[in-house]
Each structure stands twice: as structure tokens, then as C-alpha cells.
A and B are shown apart, each in its own frame.
Chain A
Amino acid sequence: MLDRCREIRSNILKISHASGNGHIPTSFSIVESLVAVYSTIRHDPKNPAWPERDIFILSKGHASLGLYAVMANFGYFTTDEVYAFGAYESRFGCHPDRTKVPGVEASTGSLGHGIGLAAGMALGFKIAKSPRRVVTLVGDGEANEGTVWETALVAADCGLGNLTVIYDHNRSQTRCLQIENPGERFAAFGWAVTEAPGHDVEALKAALGKRSDKPHVIIAKTVKGYGIKTLEDEVFAWHRRAPDAETLRKLEEELHAG
């Protein structure tokens, strides 16, 4: 694990402990994906409204703590500010609000919405003949929602080569509706498909650099709770849970030993 990604995970743990909020395993699942995104898209953390910026949308909004921790690491705001996560007057809600957090492009939370907004933005940039690109991250549980597949149809039909979906394939649905071979399914819908190890930043960056006339999905093979075996082994118990002081200490030990 990159030191940068370990530090981000450590911040996620500490903020969750301090705030009593957060979906830790799903946030851990996407750290490398988000680092790869913010390492490759055109953006300026000091000028989040830069008109020529590319767009990133976290469609699975409940992983907001992961998003904030990564955005803070890239300089959108300080990590200290995020310690107010979920507090009454905080900008940093447990689901992201684009009117409050600089650099958040869409307010998400209910699953299956961000991908449609992302496709609309990509279509707008295509109409405007703009070089701007759109990346969105969708959870594999979120892909149970029919709107994900409606959008997959529309994006292919509209030839949105400027749209990339990162599909966080962390096997979150083992007790529910699992989608086997999501890459084959997207390919059948007319998408370009890349399968990538979801905790390898360089591999993800390379995948994000691929260009096609078709919309592109990166099937990121990830592990929920990646980096701490206690979380990986107990993903359902830890789905939405904040560690107490003693547990935080143990989890941090595991994280830094890994």
C-alpha cells in the first residue's frame, strides 16, 4: 500500500472515531481509485470552479468520508476541517452536498443517481465540443439499481467516449443480489471495458488514461475494508460503525503493520 493511501485510511479511521460517523469499509475500498482519479483528471483544488476542469462524481455517496479524506489529501481543504464530519453545522455531511463542499460536483446518497447526472454532464460536454471529461464511481451494490443500467444504455447510445465509470467491485452483495461478470454485462451494453486491480494506483491511472469512442468502465477489483483484516473479515458488522478509542488503536496498529 502506498504511504499516501495508508495516511488517508488512517485519517478515515480517526475522523470516524472522533465524529462517531462513517462507512469505513466502503471508504477503504475506494481509496486507490480516488487517488488515481484526482491524479489524472484536470482539476485545481485551489480553484474548484475552474471552468475547464474535468468532473468526478461519487455516485455511491455513502463513501463520502473516503472522498473527503482523499480530497483533503489533494488540497481542496484541510483534513482538520473534516473532523466535523456529520456534525450539525458541518459542511461535511455523511453524504456529499455539492452546495457545501468545494469540489463536490453532485449531491449524492440515494443510489443510482450519480451515474445519470454524470452521463448528462458528459453529453453536455459532447454537445459543446468540450474536451472536458467525466468520471464517476459506482458501487457494485449500487448496480442493483435499474437506473445504473438505464444509464449504461443511454451512454452507449449517445457515444459518450468522455465518460468513465469506475465500478467498485468489492463483493458487497454476497448476502444479496450479486452481479457476476459485470465487465461482460457492460460490454454487452456497448461499453469499453477494462478490468484493473482496484488497489493498484498505477494500474488504475493507466486504465483511466484509456480513450475510446465508447463509454468506458473500469471494473476495479477491490476489497471492502482493504488494509485492515479485522474490517475485511467483518464487513457487515463494520458497514456503518465508528471505532471507540481502544478499537481505533488496534485498527491503526493493523493498518500500519500491513
Chain B
Amino acid sequence: MGDSIIRIITNMYTRRLFALCLLVFVFFIIDVFWGLKSFDYQFIIDFFKGNALENPSYTTLLLFRLPKAITAVLVGMALSVSGLLMQTVFRNPLAGPYVLGVSSGAGLGVALAILGFSAIGISIPFGLQNGMVILFAVVGATFVLGILLLVSMRINDIMTILILGMLFSSAISALISILQYFSPESSLKAYVIWTMGSLATVSYSQLVWLSLAVTFGILLAFLKVKDLDLMLLGEQYAISTGLNVKRFRVIIFIATGLLAGSVTAFCGPIGFIGVAVPHIARIVTRTTDHFYLLIFSSLIGACVVLLSDILSQLPGTIGVLPINSVTALLGIPVVVWIIFNNHRFGSGF
């Protein structure tokens, strides 16, 4: 690894990397402080001096703003990295974290937790609801991922796996629709709100689990940097160069499941980040080297989700907008811009 560290320090990406880190830091500070009731310079100075304990905003900051901003960073990193992995493995510029059906699996779990129990007349105590949702989402995502892993070990053709993943997602969506049809209004609304995504529901203890899953997933991705680079030649050449493609695929799917699955479980399905950010990373770095693409994707992802969160809670607006709408409104112009301005990058696959 020594040689790569030297490369990081000496090569041309260093400045861009530094600028990005700065941007993440600035967005993070803005996301934490901006819009607080007693937000002013004095508060920030007091906060860093440790004199703000008496200020009512301090509690808001510590209990809500800070975990939310940390969640935003983790979500951005996880979705962008898993999107990059899927785009490379499926050789498809429109692939994203959810092509494996992880989010619909989690959705089915959550639908069962929110809608299913109320439909059969069992009501879950309010305090347990959040935990139940996460548990069921994890079970659902793992279930779908497991099936896709089994399938992918038997099937050689990657396009078949892509199609199976999409069909599977559709089937699960159909199941969810049936559940929705038979459920009472109140729980239906709870489910719909879950599908809009939220960064605010993650507590500190849950944050530990989320960050563990994301760290492990990104670590797995970095372990496979070399193999990801080789996959740019297509599967046939990857095999003839000596890669065990099936084993590689399983590891990448597990990494994606960890990243996208944990994010969906804790925050709901957050769209467009995973598809758009890897493209931004390619444009910024102009490289096909996955070592840099992974680093830049995760940092840009963190920036974009922080920015989305800032926009969703802009002071002066009514309440807080659903994060999913904001990421879509931010992400879609990016994708459109890519299509119109960067044919080369779009047709690289």
C-alpha cells in the first residue's frame, strides 16, 4: 500500500481532493448550525469554547442536527460507492445501488412491519416502531440479496442477473401494493413517509451500526479495487486475465448489500445519489482508476447529501422537505447534464 500513499501525495488529484474535503467540512458545519433558532456567530464561538451548554439550541444541535449531519455523510458515501460498484459490475451507466433489489426487499420488510401488523390487528408500541422498521428492512434486504447471490453463483451472464434483479424488484413492489391496498389510512401514511426517506430518525446508538456497515462495505470495495479495474475490460477478458469472476461478484454484491441495505434500513430508499454521483466523480477525475473513483465518489456523495439536507431544511421554508424529493431534484439535472454534455462519459460502457 506504500506506493499508493506516495502517489496520493504527489499526484495531480491532491488539490481536488483537498478542495473536496474542505467542501465536505463546510457543508457539514452549515448543515449543523444553519437555521437553528439562536444561530449567530456568538453561538458558534460559544459552542466551540464549551460555553453553550445553557443555550436551548445546544440540545437541538446535539440530539438532532449532529447525528443527522453524520448520517448524511454516511448515506452519501454509501450510496455513491455502491452505485459505482454496480455501474462497473453491470457495465451500465444507469445502474445504481438498488438494481439488486435491495431497496425493494427492505421496502417489503418495512411494509410488513408497518402495514402487515396493523392489517392483522397487532399494534406495535410506539417506542418499538423505529426498531421494528429497521429490523424488518434488514431482514427484507438480506433475503432479496441472498436469493440474488444464489442465482448469480449459478448464472454466468451478468445481463441475466441484472434482468432478474429488476424483475424481482417489480414482483416485490407488486406484493407491497397488495399490502398497501388492504391497510388502514394511518399506517399507509406511515409507510409512504418511510419511502420518502429521512436522515433525522437515526439515533446515536443506531449511528454506530450504520457507520459500522458503511465502513465495512467501503473497505470491501477498496479491497477489490484491482478487480474492479479489470472488470472494465468486460467479463471475458477479466476471466482470461485470471480473475475468478463469480467470487468477485459475490463479494461486490455483499458490499453493495451492506451499503445500500443499511442506508435503506435506517433512512429509507434515497434515490438518484447512487446513479448520479459516480458520473460526477468520473468527470472530476477523468480517470477509470477505481482507487480514485472510490475516494472521489464517496466524498462527492457526502457533499451532495449534505447539500440536499441543507436545502431540505432551509430556514424560512415550512418545516422540513422529504430528503428523497430533494436528492431527486438535485440528481436529475445532473443526469440530464451528463447526457447532454458528456456523450463520451455516457457511452463509456
A, B co-complexed: no
